[in-house]
Amino acid sequence: PLALTGTAIASSSSTFGDSLEPGAVSFTNIVGLDDVSASASVDTSATTASGHAIVGTYTQTSTSATLAGTDSGNYTYTGFSTASQNYTINQRPLTITADNQSRIYGNSFSFDGTEFSISGLATGEGVSTANLSSTATDVNVDAGDYTISADTVTAGTGGFASSNYDITFVDGTFTVNQRDLVITAADQSKDYGDAFSFAGNEFSIAASDTDTGLILGETITSATLTSDATPTTADAGEYA
């Protein structure tokens, strides 16, 4: 049999979590149109708990056992390994999006690290928690919209490692809603022809509960009060 020479394995690559795609094996001395081929494998050195080869560069190897083809009996093959690491496993794209949140002004809120959605994970791997933050968690901030930022994966499953992923973090929106507050003008009276003016403190404020009423030690000392009944010329009767 003819010994195969000039063996080469083409460079190749794949994405972390996907099937490996070794390069094609070629020879320089196959006679004519003989049907002879061989296949290669990637010399991976480490895998995650989920069984995926980690991101990095690797050599490739083709063994004599992979020789195939209808004319392979006319050849001998001792196998071949690439001298350089010509196979690359690239990072897998992963998107982590902070979930939108809301609270009522004055109420407290804290992240537990699970308020996100995720897409792009390799099979068998998961993200349990991520670092989430927003200035809206400060109980004193005013009503309005604030950004929720996610910037780090803090725990995963299945051997998850951030180094195997190209992670894009997408911001969410945290809405601090206005707190309901009920101010009731106190009833007043005067005699026809008398003048009346408001001091600004003729009101009561409904008691606070979980989601309504004054909070954080805030107070209201005066309010603008008006009525058509204040002029001396106002006729006797009831007015708002």
Q: What is the pLDDT of residues 138-148, one digit of tens each?
A: 999 999 999 99
pLDDT grade for 39, boundaries at 50, 70 and 90: very high
User: φ, ψ for residue 64 (rounded to 5)?
Assistant: -60, -30
What pLDDT does residue 34 have? 97
Burial class (CB in 10 A: 0-12, 13-18, 19+), 116: buried
Q: What is the mean pLDDT of residues 212-220?
A: 95
In contact, 15 and 88? CB cutoff 8 Å: no
Q: What is the pLDDT of residues 10-24, one digit of tens each?
A: 999 999 999 999 999
What pLDDT does residue 153 have? 96
pLDDT grade for 45, boundaries at 50, 70 and 90: confident
Q: What is the pTM of this model?
A: 0.84
What pLDDT does residue 194 have? 96
What pLDDT does residue 9 have? 97
What pLDDT does residue 216 have? 93
Q: What is the pLDDT of residues 153-200, one digit of tens each?
A: 999 999 999 999 999 999 999 999 999 999 999 999 999 999 999 999
Phi-psi group of 139: left, alpha or beta (phi > 0 → left; psi -120 to 50 → alpha; rest → beta): alpha
pLDDT at residue 86 tops 90? yes
Mean pLDDT of the chain: 97
What pLDDT does residue 234 have? 96
